Chain A
């Protein structure tokens, strides 16, 4: 017989000790508000493409002289955006054995949630790609955004700079990286700036930016899928809702199919959409430094 103190790890005693498996957690999905910030249309069944035309404005009316014929005639002209929805989707195949065995969660439920989030993230990233397409860009690499940039961008959008599109119509939205929002909060709540301890400044000190919070009348949304580059800079945007368009052909189509020879079940989610820029002058890219504060 062995002699000495018996520990919890002695010999085969661990075989009698239970392991409790907690319910599995899922990676948190960042906010993806971008598709909701732009104009969205639904393409009806039987159609393959959505064309959006924008009439350019005519020149100013002329002062006339009685008895003199007005000889010059103005012509209507349009800019057209053509959108043809493309398929997007993701598929998960779960073996029947996995579905039976997995004890910490319902893998079918988890898979369903995950593919739904994945499709939404894809849609948000497609919209984010359009932010870079705006010809007007503010701030610039390695510089942090401040509220003066933001104020200037709003004034630019509301200025009548362009005969084809005119000034940007309301509502305007801003979609920014969280460090860009942090820079704006710093401007609004830093004791060194003009704002005081009361009101909005004090509120921001106590909470954080919320989706509906506004600066100069423009709601700023945290777009969780805006990526930072190696500098690190990131590209967000301030834009009129009608500057960008999304055309959706169908509701997300959820599929489930047995593959008996594989002893597996296939779950998928599919949707058709397309996105595009209707009015370049109605948006401003915010390209700025997003170096982490800590």
Chain B
């Protein structure tokens, strides 16, 4: 802007008569007009996967291309993919991630040049201390897993990626259903292993009399 205090009028280009009126009313010396004719031809779409609005998209492109987009989606989280089978892989990854991280902790060591470094003992990834990255990394893997275990039954949905608004319900189809069973709690597992242990019967020594 030429001057921050100058009023801005947006819309189609006004007629000379309107411009004179605007100049007279504003009492200012400079007027800025935005005449972007493409703006009226753009719409925002609601992203059904991450639940956010898109940026303004050209209307015909939005209607013909973006509204027609379908993705495979996990019914429990925002994981989505263009490719069949990816959601099943996502569930396998969640499970294997949890198995390697359920007892993971951040190992603090002395690295090159005497610097302190943090490593996740679950996957060996070096972690930044910034934004509590290491703790979040472990917590996220475990909480994602827990959320899926709580859901129990996970549907792989073939669904539209976009809608014109959050209130519009788009058709979706369940292509696969996965029973996502969690592991038994640690306490139970340990006690079961104790119970299951085969006990040797003690032989009584016969006393030879």
Q: Is A207 an interface residue (CB 8 A)?
A: no
Q: Is B105 an interface residue (CB 8 A)?
A: no
Complex CA gap A143/B13 in Å reads 44
Q: Is B172 an interface residue (CB 8 A)?
A: no
Residue from B23, B32, B71, B133 in contact with A264 in the complex, judged by beta carbons closer than 8 Å: B23
What chain A residues lie within 8 Å of B20 (beta carbons)?
261-262
Contact B128 A135 (CB under 8 A): no
Complex CA gap A236/B94 in Å reads 25
Contact B71 A187 (CB under 8 A): no
Contact A95 B38 (CB under 8 A): no
Contact A133 B66 (CB under 8 A): yes
What chain A residues lie within 8 Å of B125 (beta carbons)?
148
From A94, A137, A148, name the one whose CB has the most chain B CB atoms within 10 angstroms. A137
From B32, B66, B116, B136, name the one whose CB has the most chain A CB atoms within 10 angstroms. B32
Q: Which of B4-29 contact A (CB under 8 A)?
A: 13, 16, 19-20, 23, 29
What chain B residues lie within 8 Å of A280 (beta carbons)?
69, 82
Q: Is B135 an interface residue (CB 8 A)?
A: no
Q: Is A78 an interface residue (CB 8 A)?
A: no
Contact A137 B19 (CB under 8 A): no
Question: Can you report 13 A-B residue pairs in the complex whose CB atoms are below 8 A from each other?
Answer: A93-B31, A122-B36, A136-B82, A143-B140, A161-B83, A162-B82, A186-B128, A191-B116, A192-B116, A192-B118, A192-B128, A259-B16, A277-B65
Complex CA gap A129/B34 in Å reads 20
Interface string of B125-157 (1 = CB under 8 A from A): 111111101001000100000000000000000
On whether A197 and B49 interact (CB within 8 A), knowing A90-B35, A92-B30, A274-B58, the answer reads: no
Residue from A94, A135, A146 in contact with B69 in the complex, judged by beta carbons closer than 8 Å: A135
Residue from B31, B57, B128 in contact with A193 in the complex, judged by beta carbons closer than 8 Å: B128
Residue from B37, B118, B130 in contact with A88 in the complex, judged by beta carbons closer than 8 Å: B37
Contact A137 B50 (CB under 8 A): yes
Contact B71 A135 (CB under 8 A): yes
Contact A87 B128 (CB under 8 A): no
Q: How far is the CB of A204 from chain B (nearest CB, A)?
A: 13
CB-nearest residue of chain A to B136: A143
The interface on chain A, measured as residues whose beta carbon lies within 8 A of the other chain's beta carbons, has a size of: 67
What chain B residues lie within 8 Å of A132 (beta carbons)?
47, 52, 54-55
Q: Is A166 an interface residue (CB 8 A)?
A: no
Contact B131 A144 (CB under 8 A): yes
What chain B residues lie within 8 Å of A217 (beta carbons)?
none
On whether A276 and B58 interact (CB within 8 A), knowing A94-B29, A192-B116, the answer reads: yes
From B47, B83, B130, B136, name the one whose CB has the most chain A CB atoms within 10 angstroms. B130
CB-nearest residue of chain B to A128: B55
Please choose the segment from A14-22, A65-73, A107-115 that sits at the chain B interface, where 4 or more of its residues have CB less than 8 A away.
A107-115
Q: Is B61 an interface residue (CB 8 A)?
A: yes
Residue from B23, B56, B65, B82 in contact with A161 in the complex, judged by beta carbons closer than 8 Å: B82
On whether A129 and B131 interact (CB within 8 A), knowing A135-B82, A161-B82, A194-B117, the answer reads: no
Contact B29 A98 (CB under 8 A): yes
Q: Which of B157-171 contact A (CB under 8 A)?
A: 161
Interface string of B58-87 (1 = CB under 8 A from A): 101100011001010000001011110000
Contact A196 B130 (CB under 8 A): no
Complex CA gap A95/B19 in Å reads 11
CB-nearest residue of chain B to A98: B29
Query: What 5 A-B pairs are tightest by C-beta distance, nearest first?
Result: A129-B55, A98-B29, A86-B38, A191-B115, A194-B126
Contact A136 B81 (CB under 8 A): yes
Contact A101 B29 (CB under 8 A): yes
Q: Is B191 an interface residue (CB 8 A)?
A: no
Q: Is A229 an interface residue (CB 8 A)?
A: yes
Q: Is A190 an interface residue (CB 8 A)?
A: yes
Contact A91 B80 (CB under 8 A): no
What chain A residues lie within 8 Å of B50 (beta carbons)?
137, 140-141, 287
Q: Is B184 an interface residue (CB 8 A)?
A: no
Complex CA gap A87/B39 in Å reads 9
